[in-house]
Amino acid sequence: MDIGFIGLGGMGSAMALNALKAGHSVRVWNRSPGAAKALADEGATVVDSPDEAFAGDAVFSMLADDAALRAVFIDSGLLKRAPKGLVHANMATISVPLCEELAGLHAHHGVAYVAAPVLGRTDVAVAGKLNIVAAGADDAIDRLQPVFDVIGQKTWRVGATPQHANVFKLAANFMLASAIETTSEAASLMTGYGIDPHAFLDVISNTLFPGPVYQGYGRMIADNRYEPALFKARLGLKDVSLALAAGDAVNVALPVGSLVRDNLIEVLAHGDGDKDFAALGKVAARRAGRKV
Amino acid sequence: MDIGFIGLGGMGSAMALNALKAGHSVRVWNRSPGAAKALADEGATVVDSPDEAFAGDAVFSMLADDAALRAVFIDSGLLKRAPKGLVHANMATISVPLCEELAGLHAHHGVAYVAAPVLGRTDVAVAGKLNIVAAGADDAIDRLQPVFDVIGQKTWRVGATPQHANVFKLAANFMLASAIETTSEAASLMTGYGIDPHAFLDVISNTLFPGPVYQGYGRMIADNRYEPALFKARLGLKDVSLALAAGDAVNVALPVGSLVRDNLIEVLAHGDGDKDFAALGKVAARRAGRKV
Amino acid sequence: MDIGFIGLGGMGSAMALNALKAGHSVRVWNRSPGAAKALADEGATVVDSPDEAFAGDAVFSMLADDAALRAVFIDSGLLKRAPKGLVHANMATISVPLCEELAGLHAHHGVAYVAAPVLGRTDVAVAGKLNIVAAGADDAIDRLQPVFDVIGQKTWRVGATPQHANVFKLAANFMLASAIETTSEAASLMTGYGIDPHAFLDVISNTLFPGPVYQGYGRMIADNRYEPALFKARLGLKDVSLALAAGDAVNVALPVGSLVRDNLIEVLAHGDGDKDFAALGKVAARRAGRKV
Amino acid sequence: MDIGFIGLGGMGSAMALNALKAGHSVRVWNRSPGAAKALADEGATVVDSPDEAFAGDAVFSMLADDAALRAVFIDSGLLKRAPKGLVHANMATISVPLCEELAGLHAHHGVAYVAAPVLGRTDVAVAGKLNIVAAGADDAIDRLQPVFDVIGQKTWRVGATPQHANVFKLAANFMLASAIETTSEAASLMTGYGIDPHAFLDVISNTLFPGPVYQGYGRMIADNRYEPALFKARLGLKDVSLALAAGDAVNVALPVGSLVRDNLIEVLAHGDGDKDFAALGKVAARRAGRKV
């Protein structure tokens, strides 16, 4: 396929690279040019404007946040100039209202819009093992599927309403935040009794709570080591705040989310916003009176 | 081995039965005689007093709560009359202070004490697939191991201090409570957006959160069906309260635990204490204004 | 003085009327004309545009929320056309970032800006007994003082940085929300023991907690009667959310605020957003299993 | 009147002294003799056992906690030996279940029991300005009233069921804890904006929140000075925990209470349990990343 790729951070670059390796023809654009150059070495065509990337059989974007998306796709007027019939897979984690707004604007300008946020961090993206949560018209997703198949291990189709995929993603990250917080509190309890938290996490992650979350984040908490960050605490706070806002819009409170949000604010207050999401473990330890 | 078994609720009966089936000679005692009779049909010797069960190569107990343990082992004077050198595996989920007290009394009376709470509900006990978290003297656990091997799929030895096993168990149930609460909130968010929570839980439990907890409790929440109870909400509240008390004793707060405790009180206030632990899902739904 | 008044809801009308009664010449403008007519009967000059009101010796505004302020003062271009040297007292409860933005724009266009939110509801405004929290240049506040003196019982000058007055106001409403929530929980505890909450509130409000808040809101909670609303729950939620956002901006969590926010969302989820702020009492009662 | 006084801590001594000064004949007993001697200098008769104090027209007790009360009144057998028809005013803050138990035992042994916890700290007790919350038989309270009148500024009669007075007291201290926590969070928000919290508290305590609580505790928080302790944080935690337990018994959650409890545990974890209750202010400041 002839595809465009907009947004080449760690996640975007990894996805674009996997598309290249699978033989797709990829035009890439990024605000700052460094990342694009690295992909050029792998065969990507670097273009000078998002408009040039927003063409071909399909376009994929992975921008940082609502503001970046608004700048590139709305304020720039790009959508007005876009070729009719194109399909755009927006893989970023964004707010529900922006997703609704983008879906409406794409429809207005004759571009198919698929919300396709992903589960997995950079290492998973590099391995091409992401889980893609996709929502939009089925035929639009069909057209994206060959690329999704090399980017991810599985595409979860969750209906025709794009923002539903964003609700899935925000809820998933909310659950992730809760698991990290809970593990932090449990680890702190262990330390309070003079028990090595590694021993506890070994039992837990091999019995009730298998899988990557409790094991991976649990190890960082037990090791009390939060660098290098695989997913920064400040991005975790952003996502939890978006989940709370998503709930607010439909009168659903997420009390555990509120609690974690407050603790993530404490993480930032102590200068740890660029440490890993697991730095919630420092909050639990600090509150229990331990040196962190 | 020649063993005694004290306390024949659903969990205790299943464990005693597996010991019988493996060829061990089992004397059983229960406060109410019904459960003992069922085991007699399988070859158990029913005895009339806990003293008669507290003998042989080893004794296992699985009583309901602190009060029952206090009545049978302390107030009755049983330990004073116990044969020296016996080993006792207390498999119940009890408070940390009672565990300490029992460990001390056993030592005083020359009986080896192993705290061996289990992870898993009745269905797991029936299948002989429990995870046993054991703490106490290694040689005492060695003597229990042949029976542990037929009761459980694995014995996790977590040190020589008996109450540490209880801290493990309480922390595990606290984490379980948090996972149920979080899943309830996420499911409520889905419903708020008109999304079937089953679809969300399908994604989650096949990606970030595999394992029995999110899948099993998640299904009850998505089905909005909390009977029959596999683990009653009031017992969940008991265990979360014990975890909070365990934290309190070492100046470690468990804020997620406090939040879940308050929601479990709401479960009881609405007459759902005998429904499943997953009835936290009703609280989330009710708070979001839905009929429950 | 020759003053303009923009925004004639219950609060604004009451303030404008008190200014009229004190002999000031008042030009009034409101988006919907009804309220202005009532003031015309009392001697106000009704004008057709906010520009006409934004003139004279000083102008006072009391608009509903950030969106209304943005529409009237920023998007309309009004500030660009405003007479240099005018002083504007913005008495509305708004977000901290908007206050900063407005302060900057006013300075840019040569208009003095004073943030002057008020403590007190409509009944207090009618009585001219508001407490005015004013921040801005001292000489600007001096010019407003003759009108402040007939609108309020006291002007609290809290410095030269306008947004500080907004932080005061948001923090005050956060504290109000906390007091209502706490009183709701205490009243629910009383009911749980078969104690009339009125008796408890009588003791409390005559000993530890005198003043209008515990007495006034306490009575609504004890009466379980939340209409007519003196301050609507949805406005309370708006203000608590603004307080949380204000904290977020400086990495200060307000955990009690988060908790109250979640309960206010429950108020809205149950269709009670237009009932009084005290409807938090219904949440506490509902959660305790009582008919509400 | 001829009265006995049991328990001579700061509160008890002050009350006994006021009774003495009003001309009552007072026999005093305390576990450690020092406090009794000081009262002897003022005319009290020091007795060697609680039995000797538990006699005369009426007896008042002010012991530290449930354990002390259980030791003196129940385990000692004192009630069995008490003169029939005596009236006992228990002025301590105790748990609801112990109050019920004591009321039952007193009735069984023919002693009238009045629960009469007080609002006010030592300075208020010294001034004879306590608010006494009394529950029990009216004629029993009538007999105590002459002493209550010199100990307190007002007696609030709240019914015939003794434990109701304890529920009042625990709810009052819960509300106090909430007010301190809320003030701490608001003060932290001020500091985050570079605003002197004293200025904010000056406005608040002279407008919405008059009275001793916000003013007195607020000053300690704004001063960031928590010694000398007028009411120790660890006692505050004890009372909040009793309030939560009181709610638990009737299925009423106190979510703000749970939150404050967790923060008070943080106070203790940092070695500040003997500082003033207002040390919750340190928690809010620490969590916001400030040196405390």
Residue A292 predicted with pLDDT over 90: no
Shortest distance between the Cα of D165 and any Cα of chain C, in A, equals: 10
Instruction: Quote the longest CA-to-CA distance of chain B.
Output: 64
Of D164, D247, D289, the CB nearest to C195: D164
Shortest distance between the Cα of C267 and any Cα of chain B, in A, equals: 9
* Nearest C-alpha in B relative to C272: B289
Contact (CB, 8 A) for C261 and C291: no
Q: Would you call A265 and C259 a contact, using CB atoms and an 8 Å cutoff? A: no
Q: Would you call D171 and C192 a contact, using CB atoms and an 8 Å cutoff? A: no
Residue A34 predicted with pLDDT over 90: no
Is C283 touching D (CB cutoff 8 A)?
Answer: no
Rounded-to-integer distance, Cα C288 and Cα C271, Å: 19
What are the structure tokens assigned to B228, written together? 């029959």
Task: Return the pLDDT at C103.
Answer: 97
pLDDT tier at A33, thresholds 50, 70, 90: confident
Rounded-to-integer distance, Cα C147 and Cα C17, Å: 11
Of D269, D271, D288, the CB nearest to A287: D269
Is A60 touching B (CB cutoff 8 A)?
Answer: no
Task: Return the pLDDT at A39.
Answer: 95
Q: What is the dihedral of CA B211, B217, B223, B229, to 10 degrees?
A: 140
Residues in A touching B288 (Cβ below 8 Å): 251-253
Of A283, A272, A287, nearest in space to A227 by CA:
A272
Average pLDDT, chain B: 97
- Is D169 in the active site? yes
What are the structure tokens assigned to C31, written together? 């988006």
Task: Return the pLDDT at B142.
Answer: 98
Rounded-to-integer distance, Cα C76 and Cα D200, Å: 35
Of B248, B262, B269, the CB nearest to D258: B262
Residue B97 predicted with pLDDT over 90: yes
Residues in B touching D286 (Cβ below 8 Å): none
Tell me the helices (H) and strands (E) count for chain A, helix number first: 14, 9
Task: Return the partners of chain C (3 or more C-beta pairs < 8 Å).
Answer: A, B, D
Cβ neighbors of C213 (< 8 A, separation 6 or more) are C176, C179, C180, D208, D209
Indicate the DSSP class of residue D112. Answer: E
pLDDT less than 50: residues of chain D: none
* Nearest C-alpha in B relative to A130: B207
* Nearest C-alpha in D relative to B261: D253
Q: What is the dihedral of CA A262, A268, A270, A274, to 10 degrees?
A: 140
Q: Which pLDDT tens digit goes with each residue over D99-108?
A: 999 999 999 9
User: Which of B240, B260, B262 to mutate to probe the D interface, most D CBs <10 Å?
Assistant: B262
Of C270, C288, C289, the CB nearest to B289: C270
pLDDT tens, per residue, chain C with 292 residues: 999 999 999 999 999 999 999 999 999 999 998 889 989 999 999 999 999 999 999 999 999 999 999 999 999 999 999 999 999 999 999 999 999 999 999 999 999 999 999 999 999 999 999 999 999 999 999 999 999 999 999 999 999 999 999 999 999 999 999 999 999 999 999 999 999 999 999 999 999 999 999 999 999 999 999 999 999 999 999 999 999 999 999 999 999 999 999 999 999 999 999 999 999 999 999 999 998 8
* Nearest C-alpha in C relative to A269: C251
**Mean pLDDT within B207-235:** 96
Shortest distance between the Cα of A253 and any Cα of chain C, in A, equals: 5
The interaxial angle of helices B162-192 and B197-205, nearest 10 deg, is 140
pLDDT tier at A156, thresholds 50, 70, 90: very high
Is A253 touching D (CB cutoff 8 A)?
Answer: no
Task: Return the pLDDT at C192.
Answer: 98
DSSP string, A169-223: HHHHHHHHHHHHHHHHHHHHHHHHTT--HHHHHHHHHTTTS-SHHHHHHHHHHHH
Of B110, B48, B51, nearest in space to B77 by CA:
B51
Rounded-to-integer distance, Cα A226 and Cα A276, Å: 5
Domains annotated on chain A, with CATH? 2-160 (3.40.50.720), 166-287 (1.10.1040.10)
Contact (CB, 8 A) for A144 and A97: no
Rounded-to-integer distance, Cα A169 and Cα A92, Å: 10
In chain A, % of residues over pLDDT 90? 97
Indicate the DSSP class of residue B3. Answer: E
Is A265 touching C (CB cutoff 8 A)?
Answer: yes
CB pairs under 8 A between A and D: 18
Rounded-to-integer distance, Cα D214 and Cα D239, Å: 19
Contact (CB, 8 A) for A15 and A26: no
Of B269, B287, B288, the CB nearest to C289: B269
Is D52 touching C (CB cutoff 8 A)?
Answer: no
User: Which of A154, A174, A175, A205 to mutate to probe the B interface, most B CBs <10 Å?
Assistant: A175
* Nearest C-alpha in C relative to B288: C269
B25 has which bridge partners? B2
Is C271 touching A (CB cutoff 8 A)?
Answer: no
What CA–CA distances, in Å, run from C191 to B260, C104, C199? 23, 52, 11
Rounded-to-integer distance, Cα A189 and Cα A288, Å: 9
Is C266 touching B (CB cutoff 8 A)?
Answer: yes
Q: What is the ipTM of this complex?
A: 0.97
Contact (CB, 8 A) for D4 and D26: yes
Rounded-to-integer distance, Cα A212 and Cα A226, Å: 16
* Secondary structure (3-state) at A65: coil
Rounded-to-integer distance, Cα A93 and Cα A113, Å: 15
Rounded-to-integer distance, Cα D59 and Cα D50, Å: 10
Place of tokens 């917080």: A181
* Secondary structure (3-state) at C247: helix
Rounded-to-integer distance, Cα C6 and Cα C30, Å: 6
Indicate the DSSP class of residue A25. Answer: E
Contact (CB, 8 A) for D184 and D280: yes
The interaxial angle of helices C255-269 and C280-287, nearest 10 deg, is 80
Rounded-to-integer distance, Cα D142 and Cα D153, Å: 16
Helix (H) or strand (E) holding D143: helix D138-151
Rounded-to-integer distance, Cα A216 and Cα A219, Å: 5
Is B49 touching D (CB cutoff 8 A)?
Answer: no
Task: Return the pLDDT at D33.
Answer: 85
* Secondary structure (3-state) at D95: coil
Rounded-to-integer distance, Cα A210 and Cα A171, Å: 19
Indicate the DSSP class of residue C241. Answer: H
Task: Return the pLDDT at C241.
Answer: 98
Rounded-to-integer distance, Cα B21 and Cα C256, Å: 56
* Nearest C-alpha in D relative to B238: D248
Q: C50 preceded by cis ω (within 30°)?
A: no
B46 has which bridge partners? B28
Contact (CB, 8 A) for A136 and A113: yes
Q: Which pLDDT tens digit goes with each residue over C221-248?
A: 999 999 999 999 999 999 999 999 999 9
Rounded-to-integer distance, Cα B266 and Cα C141, Å: 51
Task: Return the pLDDT at B33.
Answer: 85
Task: Return the partners of chain B (3 or more C-beta pairs < 8 Å).
Answer: A, C, D
Q: Which pLDDT tens digit goes with each residue over A49-99?
A: 999 999 999 999 999 999 999 999 999 999 999 999 999 999 999 999 999
